[in-house]
A = this chain, B = another copy of it.
Amino acid sequence: MSKEEAREEVNEEIKIKGNSVSPAVIKRLPRYFRYLRELIRSGKMRISSGELSELMHVTASQIRQDLNCFGGFGQQGYGYNVNYLYTRICEILGVGEGFSAIVIGAGNLGRALVRNPMFEKRGVDIVGMFDVSPDVIGITVAGNTVRNMEELEAFCGEHQVDIAVLTLPKDHALSVAERLIALGIKGIWNFTGKELDHLHPDTVVENVHIGDSLMTLCYELRTRDERKEEEK
């Protein structure tokens, strides 16, 4: 067994723990989801790990490890069935579970998110938008009328709401999150910049810090310049 193969086996072991998919693989699945979606759109039915590797700029061995670890649907010499793979990944990720979401904050970001096809693609249904500003209460964004935040409790009493998308100012994030948790909302997608982890054991929070990605870009730019200096 080569060193490479041995390492692969160890990685496999790390990934498959009691049949559950490891967080590292889960983190990579949305990217497969996007690429497979494009393949389906372009009419491609089968793809080998080699082709997928070239397309996604990931090693073929990584792809085989990632995809085999939740039920080997690759067939030697035949490649992967694109549709089957896509469906399996959707199942694992919870796409098409029929989750419904409300958006709190109807500013530019809230409106940009609601108009983005990403919710529909991932099977999440926007059922309401809320704001406190009289300037936006009553306007319609992609078919959703912006409601007054005062109606939040009544609305959540009448509708099933799984996810709240927070695009309101940072200073109000915590109090609104607590209100949502009291209303039984289980998922918070948080764009406020205020970290909201560990609020409640039953609540899942996903914090999005767009600025972190800007910093990564700046770091890459700075070090690229340094590398170029060194090369001179």
Which A residues contact B (CB, under 8 angstroms)?
Answer: 26-27, 29-31, 33-34, 57, 92-95, 97, 99, 107-109, 111-113, 115-116, 118-119, 121-124, 162-163, 186-187, 189, 193, 195, 197-198, 202, 204, 206, 208-224
Contact = CB atoms under 8 A, between A and B. Distances in A.
A36 to B, nearest CB: 13
A210 B222 CA distance: 25
Contacts of A116: 109, 210-211
A221 B209 contact: no
A185 to B, nearest CB: 11
Per assembly, the copies of the chain total 2
List the 3 closest pairs (A to B, CB-CB), nearest first. A94-B222, A108-B112, A30-B212
A224 to B, nearest CB: 6
9 contacts: A27-B216, A30-B216, A57-B198, A97-B218, A97-B221, A99-B221, A124-B214, A202-B224, A206-B217
A216 B181 CA distance: 19
Contact of A99 (B195, B218, B223): B218
A109 to B, nearest CB: 4
